[in-house]
Amino acid sequence: MDKEGRKQMNQLQVFENESGVFKVAAKLENGQVLFDVEQVAKSLGFVEFKAGKIYVRWRTVNGYLGKYVSQDVAKGDLIPEPLVYKLAFKASNSIAEQFQDWLAVEVIPSIRKHGAYATPETIENIINDPDFGIKLLTNLKEEKDKRLKAEQTIELQKPKVVYAEAVSVSKDTVLVKDLANVLNQKGIDIGTNRLFEWLRDNGYLCKKKGEMWNSPTQKSLDLKIMVTKHGLRTGSNGEMRKTRTPKITGKGQIYFINKFLNKQGVI
């Protein structure tokens, strides 16, 4: 590979899967694939939400990587491929598995192989040797077909995996605090109060103060992701009061877990 080809290989390349769930920058340097640690952390769910923004939980990330690096990693740093898998192992959720599959099937082969295909040396080989060009295009097509098949399999399996994890909490409806607990188990740092706030701000619960406060909106009812549990409670004066409690359906658990883990429509 000539000097220009090596320069191109050492530049960061941005990869994004077709569904838009994962996005990461990486490059090949001295034979080693390096990844943007911030994007890796976000893809694996090591995030928290504050003041309407998403932040990487750097303390958690560095806690897992501490014994493998000489100093704490931060925004703008790159980590080698083995440390990406270390973080994925610690994340231990279905999204982490999908992220690893995507890296293995698409990103890393592309960096190690495709990055060299467009160098002047390769172009010259294609011109001088038609068989080389045919073989190259055949390999590219085979790799693309494998990648698409793997991603389709992942997409088909994802709802089943998430549902299996969701019903481990409840096969029926759950409270908002229960959903917050599930999200925390999956690496999303959000408590009950902040989840209530997010549900109101994003149109899933009523924001208007009064009798309908925190009741599921028509949007939630139409999607069949939330219901209202009606009840009676005795007040301090002995009078009976009607109560309304928002609950998340089984479908809703899948919906919200996917929404947070996939970072679509989050705070």
For 99-133, write each residue's pLDDT tens digit. Answer: 777 777 667 766 665 443 344 455 566 556 666 65
pLDDT band at residue 164, thresholds of 50, 70 and 90? very low
Q: For position 126, what pLDDT does the model report?
A: 54
Least confident stretch, 36-40, 86-90, 217-221: 86-90
User: Are residue 75 and residue 201 in the same domain, yes or no?
Assistant: no
What is the number of domains present in the chain?
Answer: 2
Q: Residue 181 belongs to what domain range? A: 174-261
User: Are residue 161 and residue 189 in the same domain, yes or no?
Assistant: no
Amino acid at 130: P
266 within domain boundaries: no
**φ, ψ at 229 (rounded to 5°):** -95, 120
User: Are residue 119 and residue 219 in the same domain, yes or no?
Assistant: no
Is the pLDDT higher at 165 or at 149?
A: 149
User: Are residue 180 and residue 161 in the same domain, yes or no?
Assistant: no
Domain boundary at 122, 140, 166, which? 166
78 within domain boundaries: yes
Is the pLDDT higher at 252 or at 261?
A: 252
Q: Decide if pLDDT at 66 tops 70.
A: yes
pLDDT band at residue 252, thresholds of 50, 70 and 90? confident
Q: For position 130, what pLDDT does the model report?
A: 61
User: Are residue 161 and residue 179 in the same domain, yes or no?
Assistant: no
The mean per-residue pLDDT over the stretch 67-76 comes to 89
User: Are residue 198 and residue 127 in the same domain, yes or no?
Assistant: no
Beta-strand relationship, 78-80 and 23-29: unpaired
50 within domain boundaries: yes
Task: Please give the mean pLDDT across all residues of the chain.
Answer: 74
Q: For position 72, what pLDDT does the model report?
A: 92
48 within domain boundaries: yes
User: Are residue 222 and residue 139 in the same domain, yes or no?
Assistant: no
Q: How far apart are CA 69 and CA 47, in angstroms?
A: 21
Q: How far apart are CA 107 and CA 72, in angstroms?
A: 25
